[in-house]
Structure 1
Amino acid sequence: MIVRKTDQLGRIVLPKSTRKHFNIDTGESLEFFIDANNQIVLRKYNPSCSFCDSYEDNLIFKNKNLCRTCVSEIKEIKS
């Protein structure tokens, strides 16, 4: 366990070993939220699908995130 104090602006520094373990590079976006157990969760930002909000198997098309399921459904409409 690693303990860090917040600074005057509420910031914390993630230890280098933690950044390395989770492959977090300088300038990379992270998101945080409070889960159902009232715990703060911090994770690498992974934008959801613009249509269904899925976080899995997303592609970027014209600056929009789309999951493969929605892409398949769009292909069916187009046919």
Structure 2
Amino acid sequence: MGSEFRTSDPWEADLFFVPVYVSCNFSSVNGFPAIGHARSLMASTVRLLSSNFPFWNLSRGSDHVFIASHDFGSCFHTIMD
């Protein structure tokens, strides 16, 4: 949070990180993460960004970064808290 490369002023930003964790949807069948909903989740995220945040529309999202690592650790962490 204190990095010299991070800014809270969006006009100074070169990139925008969008934290969407598509792997954090658990299957009701086996309790493991399921990513079948990833496409619809990403589409709804883009709709939210484009309708509420002007910086998405300035570049049509070309300066926004999505990480799709499928790191299940972040999903299980919320269950353990």
Greater strand share, 1 or 2?
Answer: 1
TM-score (norm 1): 0.22
Greater helix share, 1 or 2?
Answer: 2
Structure showing greater relative contact order (alpha-carbon pairs closer than 8 Å, 6 or more residues apart): 2
Query: Which of structures 1 and 2 has the bigger CA Rg?
Result: 1
TM-score (norm 2): 0.22
